[in-house]
Amino acid sequence: MLGICNGFQALIKLGLVPHGRITGQDADSPTLTFNTINRHVSKMVYTKVVSNLSPWLSKAECGATYVIPASHGEGRFVANDEWLKKLAANGQIATRYVDPDGNCSMDEEWNVNGSYLAIEGITSPDGRVFGKMGHAERIGDGVALNIYGQQDMRLFEAGVDYFR
């Protein structure tokens, strides 16, 4: 299952990420909340693939930076220290906001919503459920031609290959 932006919000509220099953949320659950700038953000962002756990990312290069559109008002990923450590240890942190040099950043120029640990996307423990904020689906001929950088994470190609 893949959830982008509002789809990610639904996956996390259901518990499908980070748990891999419907659990709902409790007070300690990771969640998505209002951007630190307290308004909608719409701009191109740099994201880095930091885990190849998910079949959705099997065609993306682990360690590569992709330039994709972000457009949301409630996209800031928040979690307590215990959850952040668990997600990192399990390889469930899939993508992170980075600067143009590929360095994770808490600077709002690059981490546009203030997500903890610059997290842009996470997976379920087995990687089959993937939620992310950036609109990696907004690609195609004639789209963002004036934007420098690699844009196609090949998510859907990877998904098709996985389900064949």
SS3 per-residue string spanning 60-75: CCCCCEEEEEEEECCC
Task: Establish whether 135 is a catalytic residue.
Answer: yes
* For residues 36-48, average pLDDT: 95
Which of 120, 114, 119 is CA-nearest to residue 133? 120
Predicted pLDDT at 129: 98
The structural architecture, per CATH, of the domain 2-163 is 3-Layer(aba) Sandwich (3.40)
Q: Please pick, among 5, 40, 108, 109, the residue that the annotation labels catalytic.
A: 5
Which tens digit of pLDDT belongs to each residue from 118-163?
Answer: 999 999 999 999 999 999 998 877 777 778 788 899 999 999 999 8
Q: Where are the domains of the chain?
A: 2-163
| pTM, rounded to two decimals | 0.95
Distance, in Å, from the CA atom of 16 to the CA atom of 57, rounded to the nearest integer, reads: 17
pLDDT score, position 148 = 79
Residue 74 known to be catalytic: no
Kindly give, in sequence order, each residue whose CB lies less than 8 Å from that of residue 13, ignoring residues fewer than 6 positions away: 24, 25, 31
- Counting beta carbons within 10 angstroms of the beta carbon of residue 98, is it exposed (0 to 12), middle (13 to 18) or buried (19 or more)? buried
Indicate if 5 belongs to the active site.
yes
Is residue 82 exposed (0-12), middle (13-18) or buried (19+ Cβ within 10 Å)?
Answer: exposed
From the candidates 74, 108, 137, 157, give the one annotated as an active-site residue. Answer: 137
Backbone angles phi, psi at 81, to 5 degrees: -60, -40
Tokens matching residue 25? 């949320």
Which of 19, 61, 135, 157 is the catalytic position?
135
